[in-house]
Structure 1
Amino acid sequence: MRAGVYFATQTPEEIIPKDSGSEVADVIRNIFNLCTFKCFFNLDSALLEDIKKVLGNTITDTEIMLLPELEVGQAVVQTSSEDTYMINFDPYPEQIERFDGGQ
């Protein structure tokens, strides 16, 4: 059997509490770190330090600095602790119509 879980949020602060000393925060960080694929879309520059703390050495400073500059349809995707890609989503016109523009 195969299964998957998606965590989606507008800001990582909703998933990762600021209180790094709490047991709950440690469990949530562990779950986040066990996620194989992580997609980051445009993030506010104020969140960059938090992302860096969570991802540690799995993301470079250059990749972190890309996050506030991403345009609609662009993302930084981590597929492992060593592989990070800048990708562009380019939906077909039928997909845009089906999802009423996706905005």
Structure 2
Amino acid sequence: MSASLERLVEIALRDVLDPEMGKSVVDLGLIYAIAATPHGAVAITMTTTTPGCPMAGFLKAAVAAVAGSVNGVTAVTVTLSYEPAWQPTMIAAE
């Protein structure tokens, strides 16, 4: 159950676009980890393109809201991490 819930959350997060880059947070490589418990609690570790990103609060809130809307998710925790530092090479190939 938790592995499929993690996948559903990842798919949903493709709808969260970075306003400056115009790509999804998933395609940009900003989502570092998604972990779900059997009870539906989801923990997401993400980053931003720069540590001082002015959109960090917006992106974190958007990720939490979209993940929370996935059927089966009971709680969401989003943690920002800058280790490893984001690199343009983390962007998914088209």
**TM-score class, shorter:** under 0.3
Provide TM-score, normalisation by structure 2.
0.25
Structure with higher Rg: it is 1
Q: Looking at secondary structure, tell me which structure has more strand per residue.
A: 2
Higher helix share: 1
Using CA pairs under 8 Å that are at least 6 residues apart, name the structure with larger relative contact order, 1 or 2: 2
